[in-house]
């Protein structure tokens, strides 16, 4: 089959590799669409994992084969396949910290080599625990491209829950790429007043179209003052840093009010230091928290939101590439232009 294989730093190339075989309880999916995610881009650019691998985890497609002992699924079913699924019984699962469950850390989908998602290939093997607890059926009226947003939407919903916003709160969202816009749409849906910040005017326009009340350019001299001016001198109730820029963390901490919360979402690489005003954390009681990956308990809610188009993601898809164009897809996703948001790979 055709696949885009990671061979080293900034080296992902189209190749032909064997179609994965499946065992009892497993399934084989024909990939119809796979989104390009920032976490995979970091692995490619910084060599965070050894090659060879096939990345891609925001994927949807059709089951073409199911193994013995599979119940409730058959060839022909249209599905989203989650690549991380927790055990539900360990120390971390008992505390709802699913991203730290040992089984969750084992990637449950692969196109070959060391499991790494596998969505940048024609076919992907779904392992037994993901077949049992990580497949979501796609309604007929929803396209595969829309369905591929289920995993990133889940990660954003988890982060919003961790931020702990309430209806009527003011939340600053730094970065209005496709993830930042998902945050904007979710927050607006929950009755939150969104202040959108980005350096690209085109992205601010998109944020306004999706309900952001206030738009701020990233180069504005004092983001904190701009927030105080709009909140009777207090500052934002919360902030989400949806851009992997350490300076944005400082801006966010200064922009939230005493007792406010700042959530990091895009800093997905360890050993990524940032300066923090410890006095603001202690004396002003500002919280600095993080959120990573998806929450299995939100799976059904995310499916309802996405499949009922309570959040319409279709307008976020701007570019589509074949497997043979994988290098172009990675370049664009890594260095976005004024007209680019979500980049999709169509195997």
pLDDT tens track for 186-223: 999 999 999 999 999 999 999 999 999 989 886 545 88
- pLDDT value for 259: 97
Buried b (16+ CB within 10 A) or exposed e, 188-218: beeebbbbbbbebeebbebbbebebebbbeb
The fraction of the chain above a pLDDT of 70, given in percent, is 99
| Mean of per-residue pLDDT scores for the chain | 95
- CA-CA distances (angstroms) from residue 252 to 101, 138, 246, 303? 30, 37, 10, 30
CATH assignment, 2-149+313-345: 3.90.180.10
User: Which tens digit of pLDDT belongs to each residue from 185-194?
Assistant: 999 999 999 9
- pLDDT value for 68: 95
- CA-CA distances (angstroms) from residue 293 to 9, 84, 314, 333, 343? 24, 9, 22, 19, 19
Instruction: Return the higher-pLDDT residue of 143 and 214.
Output: 143
- pLDDT value for 218: 62
Helix, strand, coil % in the chain, rounded to nearest 5: 35, 25, 40
- pLDDT value for 184: 98
- CA-CA distances (angstroms) from residue 171 to 168, 265, 278? 9, 14, 22
- pLDDT value for 219: 52
- pLDDT value for 271: 82
The model carries a pTM of 0.95
Confidence of residue 269 (pLDDT cuts 50, 70, 90): confident
- pLDDT value for 221: 54
Q: Give the lowest-confidence range in 24-38, 166-180, 211-225.
A: 211-225
Domain ranges of the chain: 2-149+313-345, 156-290
The correct CATH number of 156-290 out of 3.40.50.2000, 3.20.20.210, 3.90.1010.10, 3.40.50.720 is: 3.40.50.720
The fraction of the chain above a pLDDT of 90, given in percent, is 93
Confidence of residue 246 (pLDDT cuts 50, 70, 90): confident
Residue 172's Cβ-count burial label (10 Å; 0-12, 13-18, 19+) is buried
Helix axes 178-189, 201-209, angle to 10 degrees: 30
Average pLDDT of the residues in 166-180: 96
Answer whether residue 95 shows pLDDT above 90.
Answer: yes
Q: With residue 280 as reference, give the H or E element that holds it.
A: helix 278-282
């Amino acid at each position: 089959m055709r696949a885009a294989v990671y061979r080293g730093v900034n080296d992902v190339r189209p190749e032909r590799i064997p179609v994965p075989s499946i065992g009892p309880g497993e399934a084989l999916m024909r990939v119809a669409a796979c989104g390009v995610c920032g976490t995979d881009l970091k692995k490619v650019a910084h060599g965070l994992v050894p090659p060879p691998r096939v990345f891609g985890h925001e994927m949807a497609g059709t089951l073409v084969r199911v193994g013995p002992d599979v119940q409730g699924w058959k060839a022909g079913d249209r599905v989203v396949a989650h690549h991380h699924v927790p055990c539900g019984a360990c120390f971390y699962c008992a505390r709802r910290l699913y991203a730290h469950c040992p089984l969750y850390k084992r990637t449950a989908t692969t196109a070959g080599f060391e499991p790494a998602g596998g969505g940048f290939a024609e076919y992907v093997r779904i392992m037994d625990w993901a077949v049992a607890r990580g497949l979501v059926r796609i309604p007929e009226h929803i396209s595969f491209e829309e369905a591929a947003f289920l995993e990133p939407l889940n990660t954003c919903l988890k982060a919003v829950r961790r931020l702990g916003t309430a209806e009527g709160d003011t939340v600053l969202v730094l970065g209005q790429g496709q993830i930042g816009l998902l945050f904007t749409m979710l927050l607006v849906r929950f009755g939150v007043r969104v202040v959108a910040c980005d350096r690209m005017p085109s992205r601010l326009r998109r944020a306004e179209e999706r309900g952001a009340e206030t738009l701020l350019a990233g180069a504005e001299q004092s983001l904190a003052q701009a927030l105080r001016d709009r909140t009777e001198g207090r500052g934002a109730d919360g902030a989400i840093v949806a851009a992997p820029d350490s300076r944005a963390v400082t801006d966010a901490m200064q922009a939230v009010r005493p007792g406010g919360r700042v959530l990091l979402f895009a800093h997905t690489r360890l050993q990524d230091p940032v300066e923090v005003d410890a006095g603001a954390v202690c004396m002003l009681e500002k919280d600095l928290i993080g959120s990573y990956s998806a929450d299995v308990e939100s799976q059904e809610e995310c499916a309802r939101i996405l499949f009922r188009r309570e959040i319409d993601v279709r307008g976020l898809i701007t570019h589509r590439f074949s497997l043979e164009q994988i290098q172009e897809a990675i370049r664009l996703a890594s260095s976005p232009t004024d007209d680019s948001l979500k980049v999709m790979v169509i195997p």
